[in-house]
Chains A and B, each alone.
Chain A
Amino acid sequence: MDHGRERAHGELTRVLREHAGRLTASLVHVLGDFAAAEDVVADAVETALRRWPVDGVPDHPDAWLLTVARRRGLDVLRRRTVYRDKLARLDWPPRGDPDDRLRLVFVCCHPALPRAGQIALTLRAVCGLTTAQIAAAFLVPEATVAQRLTRAKRKIAEAGIPYRVPSDAELPDRLDQVLAVVYLLFNEGYLTSGGDRSQARDLADDAEWLAAQLAWLMPRRAEVLGLLALIRLHQARADARFTPGGDLVLLRDQDRGRWDRAAIAEATALLERAAALRCPGPYQLQAAIVAVHAEAPAWEATDWFQITVLYDMLLALAPSPVHRLNRAIALGHTPPPHGGPAAALAALDALTPADRRALERYPLLHATRAELLRALDRPRAARAADRRALELATNPAQQALLRQRLTWD
């Protein structure tokens, strides 16, 4: 895709994303049927993607989408007279309130749906992606995504999954599911796990948009703000993460002049707002860790001890092998007496068998070991660890980096 077309495509994506979810939400409200509403909007989105590049984006994209959805809906719902009548009487703007979109998110991320179904449904119903775009973003066949969507929608209808915002008592658990979906989308977009994605939709951007919508709809939920801050702190540094050739640049080698300082300051302020709600959680702590990195003027000036402490807090709330590995990395950079490469290697060696099994196929574990072993002047063991990391890495940029390190030695 050339630059002009790519920009036009980005614009199209943003407009669709802004309106498709809203329209789905209002149609579910009007029709009272999630699957029917989702279908006609998905169809209108497909039509827009064909027509807008030729005719230009209409002045009122929302009204345009509604008109197409209604016309198409009357056709699709031929046999279902109840919906036809409701659709035919539908006026612009359709009834509905901001809460409608929140209901939409919660039904898409219902815990009774499998994770892959939650993701596909959220992308389509809330973000306005097409089945083809979801398939391209996750490198799976379009038929697989179509099947996940069909199954998820059938389960919603047949198992009686309600279309509502969970009660206060249920909300913390249900919100965890929603945030997990958004975070997973962000990670998938931020560190694509293989293949050539130049044509794929930018999932990191979709995840940021979703988190921003959630933060607007639920401004008093600390973890929602924490997740948005986390995503924005990463995004603020995205430009410096790759060379023009597409190779990954390590945090330590990044040109910090290319970081968006204003965006970092804004995200940090957001994180402070979250902290003021006095309800700490894993996303806020991860954001705090990223903020320590983002605020360091140089790699050498990073407050590693602070990062180690934040990882200890994170592990207390959300024990995970990956967080333990990251804590060991931070410990390796912490100057003595609190840390150092020997302490970090000891921490890795002290991982429980279960943690070790979980991390065994994770390239970063081996790359980290290699780095620590090199710092401790054990080059042969270091090379073996690097080779293991290279075997496991699936991301082309990661592979290039590891390969380069092996040649340098």
Chain B
Amino acid sequence: MKYVLMFAETEEFAQRLAAMSESERQEEFARVGEWFAEHAAHITHHTRLQPHHTATTVRLTGDQAVVTDGPFVEGKEVVSGFAELDVADLDQALAIAAAWPGCPVVEIRPLV
């Protein structure tokens, strides 16, 4: 089955990352790189998003397209990237997500 993991960052996470020294930050990135390498066989595609202040939302109501600045939900958790998995079932996807060393929230959605 195919799933998408949606990675979400929180403000605390961003602050923690910002407070790190350059070498600490490199270590964090290295751990994320290891995770991608370890699960490469199951990861069919992945991508990272630019920070959420770059987001623009278009709302299509009636025949109008209303363009606003910012993400569609102003929440504490902001989606920062995606990875598409091809695995046997939800439990396998959960196990891979549970080992994710990056941002603190991961949503798992099956693909149609």
Contacts and interface: CB of A to CB of B under 8 A. Distances in A.
A276 interface: no
B58 interface: no
A236 B15 CA distance: 55
Contacts of A160: 1, 3, 89-90, 93, 110
A161 B90 contact: yes
A159 B90 contact: yes
Nearest to A158: B110
Given A158-B110, A159-B110, A160-B1, A166 B91 contact: yes
A152 to B, nearest CB: 13
A162 B93 CA distance: 11
Nearest to A169: B95
Nearest to A156: B90
Q: Which of B3, B88, B91, B110 has the most chain A CB atoms closer than 10 A to its own CB?
A: B91
Contacts, number: 24
B95 A170 contact: yes
A166 B94 CA distance: 12
A164 B91 CA distance: 10
A358 interface: no
A158 B89 CA distance: 10
Contacts of A110: 90
A164 B90 CA distance: 12
Contacts of B93: 160
B95 A162 contact: no
A154 to B, nearest CB: 12
A226 B94 CA distance: 29
Interface in B81-112: 88-91, 93-95, 108, 110
A160 to B, nearest CB: 4
A110 to B, nearest CB: 8
A314 to B, nearest CB: 27
Residue of A110, A112, A160 most packed against chain B (CB within 10 A): A160
Contacts of A166: 91
B62 to A, nearest CB: 32
A161 B89 CA distance: 6
Contacts of B91: 161-162, 164, 166, 170
A67 B110 CA distance: 36
A166 B1 CA distance: 18
A166 B91 CA distance: 9
A352 B94 CA distance: 35
B110 A162 contact: no
A248 to B, nearest CB: 43
Interface string B55-98: 00000000000000000000000000000000011110111000
A158 B109 CA distance: 10
Nearest to B88: A162
A112 B106 CA distance: 13
Nearest to B95: A170
A112 B90 contact: yes
A218 B35 CA distance: 34
Contacts of B95: 170
Contacts of B1: 160
Interface string A57-78: 0000000000000000000000
Contacts of B88: 162
Contacts of A158: 110
Contacts of A170: 91, 95
A112 B93 CA distance: 12
A45 to B, nearest CB: 28
A161 B93 CA distance: 10
Interface in A134-164: 158-162, 164
Contacts of B89: 160-162
A159 B94 CA distance: 11
Interface in A153-208: 158-162, 164, 166, 170
Given A160-B93, A160-B110, 19 more contacts: A110-B90, A112-B90, A112-B94, A158-B110, A159-B108, A159-B110, A160-B1, A160-B3, A160-B89, A160-B90, A161-B89, A161-B90, A161-B91, A162-B88, A162-B89, A162-B90, A162-B91, A166-B91, A170-B95
12 contacts: A110-B90, A112-B94, A159-B108, A159-B110, A160-B1, A160-B89, A160-B110, A161-B89, A162-B90, A164-B91, A166-B91, A170-B91
